[in-house]
Structure 1
Amino acid sequence: METLVGAELCFPQLINTSCRKQSRPHLEAMLIYILLSSISLLTLALNLLVIISISHFKQLQTPTNLLLLSLAVSDFFVGLFLIFQIMMIDGCWLLGDLMCSLWLVLSSIITSSSIGTMVLISVDRYVAICYPLHYFTKVKPERVQVCVCLCWMFVALIYSVLLKNNLQHPGRYNSCIGECIVDMNYIVNVIDLIVSFIFPITVIVILYTRIFGVVVYQARAMRSHRLFKVTVKKSEMKAARNLGVVVVVFMICICPFYCFALTSQSNVYTSSSVPIVVWFFYFNSCLNPLIYAILYPWFRKSIKVIVTLQILKPGSSRTNVL
């Protein structure tokens, strides 16, 4: 009987203080591990290809692609942190309280940086479509790099302050050994929702509504005047459409998580308390590079050059991949 009880515990040697494992049929547990591990590895591999492509090929280092690079970096780390989430499938955290707090803070920084990058992508497309004559004078690679760095630094500062209590007192809110809990009081919860959801989504919706308005206006102008001066390039319109797909898919994936947070009555969350919406949120990091592969020919060409090891040849950084 004691052996059976020990097998159900995260730490069998700590019978009185250990958390209990979540019991699942063996086949179901194996399928979940295989599926989620595959998603994690695919997320890591695909986003690494995006990072290598944009970092290596000079032709791809445009302001818009630098934003995609920032998104790929955050998505890569999401795939890396998924490994820790997979470890929690049975409800047990085995790496200690300090690692739990660090993981939760870093996860918040990484996911919020993705959201911030989506806002920057929307701003980039807004300027390109609504003010095409000023785009190349206002939006330069150096300015984009500064904006990306400021975005990451702002998010890191905000969440280091918001979750400071969890870092100063790791494991304070655990009810048993083997639990990983983040505590967010009402004020912290409100700030988190505003910074990571309400404000970014509002900005994205407003900017893309404006972009849509310009597109509709030009389409009507084309129908009413057979000859007219095109102010927005076809390539910019296509880029806006492609990035619009990325933004819409992103919003579909993150909305369930934040809707849960808005309606939740609790301020204390365990890392396994909202598994479905959390995994849906994380799955977006795997979808982004798949969208690039479907919509961007340069990504497919880059993958071919990388996989065939042509990238190792001298001067490969100047290869034509467009």
Structure 2
Amino acid sequence: MADLIWVIYTGFEVLIAVACCLGNVLVVCAVCVGIRDSLREPTFCFLVSLAVADLLVGVAAVPLAVLLDGWVSLSPKLCLLLSCVVLVLTQASVLSLLAIAMDRYLKLHKALRYKAIVTQRRTWLSVSVCWMLSCLLGFTPLLGWHNHPSTDSTNTSSFISSQCTFLSVISLPFMVYFNFLACVMAPLLIMTFLYITIFWSLQKRLKDSCPQVKQSLLRERRLAWSLSLVLILFASCWIPLHLMNCLLLIQGPQAVTQGTLYAGILLSHANSAVNPVVYAYRIPRIKLAYGQIWSRLFVKLGFCCGNKQVQQPITNNQIIHK
């Protein structure tokens, strides 16, 4: 039975990894190539950062999750290093989402000074800081907060290869108190406050605005809803796994069955595959860029006749707001 559960789990992980890679490559191409001057807009820069993190989940985190399930023998230090890579990618997603929320907040509440404050240089600097902080926070277990004790030169037992699992090297107190409460829940609460403030402010302004301004505010509200949906999905997919870690810490290994733990891991990884679908349905510019990319691909493969118009990059005049 345990082998059957593992086979089913591995099969779903493979499907999720493929979906992560294809979907998020499409997002990066849509933003960087399909939408003209999109990388001059902070929101799209942070979306690319989030898409890259999701892409790396498919490329690295999912394969590592399968390998770090007791199926390979590694030295504890190498096992710890590979386990930390998963934490880095999760943290990069959280910080990218936080950067998006702060950008939308500034766009609404500092409208007159927004372009002066959020320059292209500062935007890319913010993306770099997000990834550097992600590495710092994700690799924290390497500094000593892990299950394997530090050793001196006279003790060589730590270098002997052993069965490698994530929780054999990553400390549960670290996962609960530091990774979950400090690195995930704290940013999620900040983002929740920012979006509540954004929607409350938009609702007030819509009541007192002229028709021309109202159209702009409605577009802003639609985009805010789309981005907040990405945040809600992230929380819904990741919090169950973190709650399982809390149960494991409080009640021990018997608190969560292996099948339930696998389901939590699959749900967390599925989040990276779902985001490109959300962008397609909720953000018109990305949806239009997706269509152009598929049209070009079909033309190259000879499935349909070329259309010169679809080969043009998307401009602001081509955006259709629903």
| Corresponding position of 2:86 | 107
Q: Please state how far the C-alpha of 1:191 moved relative to its aligned partner.
A: 2.6
In 2, distance between residues paired with 1:188 and 1:252?
18
After superposition, where does 1:76-155 map in structure 2 within 5 Å?
A: 76-80=55-59, 81-87=61-67, 91-94=69-72, 96-97=74-75, 98-155=77-134
SS at match of 2:225: helix
After the TM superposition, which of the residue ranges 286-295 and 245-254 deviates more from structure 2?
245-254
After the TM superposition, which of the residue ranges 198-207 and 187-196 deviates more from structure 2?
187-196
Instruction: Supply the AA of the counterpart residue of 2:25.
Output: L
Q: Please state how far the C-alpha of 1:40 moved relative to its aligned partner.
A: 1.1
Aligned residue among 9, 17, 38 for 1:60:
38
In 2, distance between residues paired with 1:306 and 1:149?
28
SS at match of 1:133: coil
**Alpha-carbon contact 1:162-1:188 (below 8 Å) kept:** no
Q: Please state how far the C-alpha of 1:63 moved relative to its aligned partner.
A: 0.9
Q: Please state how far the C-alpha of 1:284 moved relative to its aligned partner.
A: 0.8
- Call closer, same or farther: CA 1:268–1:64 in 2, change over 3 Å: farther
- CA deviations over 1:1-33 (Å, ceiling 9, x no partner): xxxxxxxxxxxxxxxxxxxxx7334xx655443
Q: Please state how far the C-alpha of 1:160 moved relative to its aligned partner.
A: 2.3
Indicate whether 1:179 and 2:164 are aligned: yes
After the TM superposition, which of the residue ranges 192-201 and 280-289 deviates more from structure 2?
192-201
Alignment RMSD (CA, Å): 3.6
In 1, distance between residues paired with 2:2 and 2:195?
46
- CA deviations over 1:218-245 (Å, ceiling 9, x no partner): 24436xxx77965963332221121111
**Alpha-carbon contact 1:122-1:208 (below 8 Å) kept:** yes
**Alpha-carbon contact 1:186-1:267 (below 8 Å) kept:** no
| Corresponding position of 1:306 | 293
| Corresponding position of 2:22 | 45
**Alpha-carbon contact 1:189-1:267 (below 8 Å) kept:** no
How many residue pairs get aligned? The number is: 289
Instruction: Supply the AA of the counterpart residue of 2:203.
Output: V
Indicate whether 1:286 and 2:273 are aligned: yes
Indicate whether 1:217 and 2:194 are aligned: no
Q: Please state how far the C-alpha of 1:184 moved relative to its aligned partner.
A: 2.0
- Call closer, same or farther: CA 1:84–1:192 in 2, change over 3 Å: closer
| Corresponding position of 1:320 | 314
In 2, distance between residues paired with 1:228 and 1:148?
33
| Corresponding position of 1:261 | 245
After superposition, where does 1:229-248 map in structure 2 within 5 Å?
A: 230=214, 233-248=217-232
SS at match of 1:277: helix
Indicate whether 1:199 and 2:199 are aligned: no
Query: % of aligned pairs identical?
Result: 19
SS at match of 2:17: helix
Instruction: Supply the AA of the counterpart residue of 2:191.
Output: I
- Call closer, same or farther: CA 1:155–1:29 in 2, change over 3 Å: closer
Aligned residue among 135, 143, 146 for 1:164:
143
- Give ranges in structure 1 of 5+ residues lacking alignment: 1-21
| Corresponding position of 1:71 | 50
Instruction: Supply the AA of the counterpart residue of 2:185.
Output: I
Q: Please state how far the C-alpha of 1:138 moved relative to its aligned partner.
A: 1.7
TM-score normalised by the chain length of structure 2: 0.76
| Corresponding position of 2:303 | none
After superposition, where does 1:28-39 map in structure 2 within 5 Å?
A: 30-39=7-16
SS at match of 2:169: strand
Instruction: Supply the AA of the counterpart residue of 1:108.
Output: L
After the TM superposition, which of the residue ranges 64-73 and 278-287 deviates more from structure 2?
278-287
TM-score normalised by the chain length of structure 1: 0.76
In 2, distance between residues paired with 1:260 and 1:31?
20
Q: Please state how far the C-alpha of 1:131 moved relative to its aligned partner.
A: 2.8
In 2, distance between residues paired with 1:275 and 1:31?
10
